[in-house]
Chain A
Amino acid sequence: MTTRTQPITGELLKLKDEIHQYALDYGLDFYPVVFEVCDYDTINILAAQGGFPSRYPHWRFGMEYDQLSKSYAYGLSKIYEMVINTDPCYAYLLKANHIVDQKIVMAHVYGHADFFKNNLWFKSTDRRMMDVMANHGTKVRRYMERYGQDKVEEFIDRVLSLENLLDINVLFETPEVQRSRSSKESAYHNEFFHDDDDDDRSTHLKSFMRSKLFNPESEGPERPEGLDEQPSSYRPKPTYISPRDIMMYLVEHAPLKEWQADILAILREEAYYFLPQRMTKIMNEGWASYWHSTIMTKNALKSSEIIDFSDKHAGVMAMSRKQINPYKIGIEMMRDIEYRWDTGRFGKEYNECTDMHERENWNRPTRQGREKIFEVRKSHNDVTFIDEFFTREFCERMQMFTYKYNPRTARFEIDRRDFEAIKAKLLMSLTNFGQPVIEIESGNFANRGELHLIHRHQGVDLDMGYASDTLRNIQAIWSRPVNLTTIQEGKEVTFVHDGKEFRPLK
């Protein structure tokens, strides 16, 4: 395994030093970047495993690998580069790539590395994930030896059904936050519950407040099971469990064997590790592309390499009619922001200007562009990025449109070029990283120890076929029936899966 990648030497090493210096000169700030070269098979393996050389054994990595290898074998696509968010940052270069490609990739990688280190949403990611993933692999392998591959794999398959049910707020659950919360909570607890005898408020109110404390976002008075009714024995839990952090809820409350709880926690940790990357795809790629383009065109490119560079760059930036290309939208938005903040096209005065001519020729040399994009890369994610900086002018310039399926012609057709509609659709597809919001409502539904999930409907119904199979998998983990309340065609409905069948409740 270790022999599959080699450290860079010779010309590549020189290139790396050169580009590293450019990156520093531009003010990029990153953990050390370790470049290694490998052949296409290795890069396919790494890509299939999310960039990591060692993962737990599971067929899905084999599936990814199968597809990547075929794509490569038939000459359809190849992976140019890969970089993983660790400290130091590991980046892999494809051995067979042209030297210009390697330069682009290196410059691009420094962009990513800077983003990983500075973007707020990455603050709590574990930078030693390489070791963590390898340890997870060892653990799962041991469980497989002890309990059987099929059994463990089947459990993993079930958990993977929940892999997309994450709460972005958990990303800010750093140890400090947890500590300060628990100290605040115990202060709160002391204030309200310590001297029970002196408190003349009704027990009903106290019980209500306590449940709020436990489950601050849930509306119902139900509480997680296993909680003692006696106020005197009440103790705040060390960690806050969000109702959207379904995997954690199951770790804490589902009747699992130790190995199962461990695997669930392992998969949860890995899912949260990848979450920031899912939330910042456009920004991250935009930022990295902005820097490869800047470093290449301003510094690193030799005149003989211009054609090759342009060809590659254009390939990466190709617009697609079926989906937006995050590289393209990302880089263009970064440039647009830089331009607007360079020419003073922001703030109250500009926004309220209705004279089209004046607006078009607006130029106040504020020269804050570079500074602004550094600030943006720090504090935004894709949703807020699009929400704040995706302007009407930009939308038109990008020739964006929405499309939808026309059942009469049986094809997808351009629907609208209307700014509001496009932005709404874009934001919709990015909200909650494009996944439905599912919350734990109760672990004791109907007082029968059943799990109750609520789909926070945001205008789009769930696919009930998938929902049914997903519920079956959750049911297998929870072991009691699992209920799901959602909205179908405007009506609130609740479904239940009891392990045998899926049916509407009542």
Chain B
Amino acid sequence: MDHPIKRDHTRFRNIVKGRVRDNLRKYVSQGEMPAPKGDGTYKIPMPSIETPRFKFGDQSQGGTGQGDGQQGDPVDGQEGEGQPGEGEAGEGEGNKELEVELSLDELASILGEELSLPNIEPKGKKTMQSTTDKYSSIGTSGPDSLKHFKRSYKEALKRQVAMGTYDPENPIIIPIKSDMRFRSSTQKVEFENSAVVIYMMDVSGSMGDEQKEIVRTESFWINLWLKSQYKDIDIRYIIHDATAKEVDETTFFRTRESGGTLISSAFKLCREIIEADYNPSEWNIYPFHFSDGDNWSTDDTKLCLDILNNDILPSSNVFCYGQVESRYGSGQFYKDLVGAYKEDHEKVILSKIKNKEAILDSIKDFLGKGK
């Protein structure tokens, strides 16, 4: 029988996933999704449930540490690095963030598992096939260059033991031809499918650095997931205030404009990009729009809805709108979209991102449908 803790574990996972004990849901924190640091290390989201207790308020005021440095020097560094001898377990409410070196593939699979994201069933032509050979199995014939020494040795050993010719005192193994094993290939058919992600972001005055950071983090993880799902992926960036333009990635996250907001300008540009470069029957198209929900006028919102309905939605897999909460934004656009599409529209996914902690949930909103 398995250890009873596995049941506790399953129970915990179910609570985190919101399947049982709904009243605990509000204490579940998925852990922050931080942006990549660029050195190949990533923080792993560690879901946890915090029991409310009386505790001191201003713990952010700091503490005591050890080391070099002058007043005003930052206190970075990893926490609790190397404390192997964990004497009395069960105590200590340490920080539960993990920093790990991982490949992007691993990271995507962790993300997928944590959020239980469904794999995407790509649309597009299945006629575009390609075959690749993968050397993933073992055969009894093949060229010498593909000889698998270890397997061959094992076969020979097995045979000799079985025949009784193996002498532990003098363990010489002589393989014969039938012992030889070779790496052999299997053919895999892959369907070519490609996707394009079009990010649109409101960079008007009301979108502050914090909001952009959220968008940046979120787009990183979305890209990560989509990249793991599609063989080829294009990413296009559009920024807009009252006018829209296409920019590169750096500009996308750095730019800050002031002035009004006409969301339709971005949608128009998005439409043009799709028309020019991406044939919807061959491409999986993912337009994402992030803003704080402010739009200039209701007329413009109407225009937006027209463009969405007539052009963008028919050609896209799914249209995602993420509304980042900001001090200045009214959040009206979200309400308008909800009014037009309801919460559970086939092709429109709406999500509100309150703060950094909400990123994970929002990613789940966007990608959880497997579109």
Taking Cβ atoms with an 8 Å cutoff, the residues of A that contact B are 1, 4, 45-51, 54, 57-63, 65-67, 70-71, 74-85, 104-105, 108, 112, 150, 153-154, 157, 160-165, 274, 277-278, 281, 284-285, 288-289, 312, 315-316, 318-325, 327-328, 398-406, 409, 411-417, 422, 425-426, 429, 435-436, 438, 455, 460-464, 466-467, 469-470, 472-473
A153 touches B77 (CB 8 A): no
Is B81 close to A, CB under 8 A? yes
Which residues from 53 to 67 on chain B have a C-beta closer than 8 Å to any C-beta of chain A?
A: 53-67
**Which chain B residues border A163 with CB–CB below 8 Å?**
51, 53
* Interface set of B (CB-CB < 8 Å, partner A): 3-5, 7-13, 15, 20-21, 23-24, 44, 46-49, 51-92, 96, 98-100, 102
Contact partners of B80 in chain A: CB under 8 A:
320, 323, 325
Residues of B within 8 A of A327 (CB): 83, 85
- A49→B44 CA distance, assembly (Å): 23
Given contact pairs A67-B46, A284-B88, A320-B79, a sample of 7 additional A-B residue pairs in the complex whose CB atoms are under 8 Å apart: A65-B5, A70-B98, A165-B54, A316-B83, A318-B81, A414-B74, A460-B57
Query: In the complex, how many angstroms separate the beta carbon of A187 from the nearest chain B beta carbon?
Result: 38
Q: Point out the residues of chain A lying under 8 angstroms from B5, CB to CB.
A: 45, 48-49, 61-62, 65
Check A322–B71 contact: CB distance below 8 A: no
**Distance between A415 CB and nearest chain B CB, rounded to angstroms:** 7
Task: Report the bound CA distance from A63 to B15 in whole Å.
Answer: 10
Query: Does the CB pair B21–A150 fall under 8 Å?
Result: yes
A45-B3, A153-B21 as given contacts; A399 in contact with B54, CB under 8 Å = no
* Cβ-neighbour of A455 out of B54, B79, B98 (below 8 A): B54
User: Given that A74-B100, A320-B80, A324-B65 are known contacts, is A288 also in contact with B87, CB under 8 Å in the complex?
Assistant: yes
Q: Which 4 A-B pairs have the closest CB atoms?
A: A50-B90, A62-B8, A469-B52, A62-B12
Interface of B is mostly: loop
State whether A470 touches B53 (Cβ < 8 A).
Answer: yes
Instruction: Determine if B60 and A463 form an interchain contact, defined as CB atoms under 8 angstroms apart.
Output: no
Quick check: B23 and A154 within 8 Å, CB to CB? yes
Q: Is the CB of A321 within 8 A of B62?
A: no
Taking CB atoms, residues of chain A closer than 8 Å to B20 are 150
Complex CA distance for A164 and B51, rounded to whole angstroms: 11
CA distance A95 to B264 in the complex (A): 64
A401-B65, A414-B70 known; A436 vs B54 contact (CB < 8 Å): yes
**Contact across chains for B77 and A63 when beta carbons are under 8 A apart:** no
Partner among A285, A413, A417, A425 whose Cβ is within 8 Å of the Cβ of B75? A413
Cα-based distance from A295 to B233 in the complex (angstroms): 60
Chain B residues, CB < 8 A from A472: 52
Provide the residues of chain B in CB contact with A285, threshold 8 Å.
Answer: 85, 87
Return chain B residues, CB-CB under 8 Å to A51.
Answer: 88-90
On whether the beta carbons of A461 and B85 are closer than 8 Å, the reply is no
A81→B89 CA distance, assembly (Å) = 9
Q: What does DSSP make chain A's interface, helix, strand, loop or mixed?
A: mixed
Contacting residue for A399 out of B66, B71, B72, B85, CB 8 A:
B66
Closest to A488 in B: B57
**B76 & A321 in contact (Cβ 8 Å cutoff):** yes
Q: Do B64 and A323 touch (CB < 8 A)? A: yes
Whether B66 pairs with A320 at a CB distance below 8 angstroms is: yes
Question: Given that A285-B85, A403-B62, A405-B61 are known contacts, is A59 also in contact with B49, CB under 8 Å in the complex?
Answer: yes
Inter-chain CA distance A351–B176, complex, in Å, is 85
Contact B11 A414, beta carbon cutoff 8 Å: no
Q: Whole-angstrom distance from the CB of B223 to the nearest CB of chain A?
A: 22
Partner of B51, one of A46, A160, A284, A436: A160
Contact for A161 among B52, B70, B90, CB less than 8 A: B52
In the complex, what residues of B have CB within 8 A of residue A324's CB?
63-66
Given contacts A399-B67, A436-B54, A467-B54, contact A413 B84 (CB under 8 A): no
Specify which of A59, A284, A401 lies most central, judged by the most chain B CB atoms within 10 Å of its CB.
A59
Partner of A413, one of B21, B73, B89, B98: B73
A71 to B92, CA, bound (A): 16
Asked if B64 and A66 make an inter-chain contact with CB atoms under 8 angstroms apart, the answer reads no
Shortest CB-to-CB span from A78 to chain B, Å, is 7
Contact A80 B56 (CB under 8 A): no
Asked whether B55 lies within 8 Å of A463 as measured between CB atoms, the reply is yes
Selected contact of A460 from candidates B56, B89, B92, CB within 8 Å: B56
CB-based contact B12/A401 at 8 Å:
no
CB-CB nearest in chain A for B100: A74
Name the A residues within 8 Å of B73 (CB-CB): 413-414
Q: Report B150 CB to chain A, min CB distance, Å.
A: 23
**Complex contact A312–B8 (CB within 8 A):** no
State the CA gap A163–B73 with chains docked (Å): 37
Residue from the list B11, B63, B99 in contact with A403, Cβ < 8 A: B63
User: In the complex, what distance in Å separates the CA atom of A105 from the CA atom of B46?
Assistant: 29
Judge whether A76 and B65 touch: CB under 8 Å: no
Distance between Cα atoms of A150 and B82 in the complex (Å): 38
Least CB distance from B179 to A in Å reads 33
| Bound: A411/B76 CA distance, A | 8
Q: Report chain B residues within 8 Å CB of A48.
A: 5, 89
Could you say which residues of chain A place their CB within 8 Å of the CB of B65? 319-324, 400-403, 414
**Contacts A63-B12, A66-B9, A322-B63: A312 and B54 contacting too (C-beta < 8 A)?**
no
A and B contact pairs by CB, cutoff 8 A, 14 listed: A1-B4, A51-B90, A57-B11, A59-B12, A77-B84, A83-B88, A108-B87, A161-B51, A284-B88, A288-B87, A318-B83, A325-B66, A425-B64, A462-B56
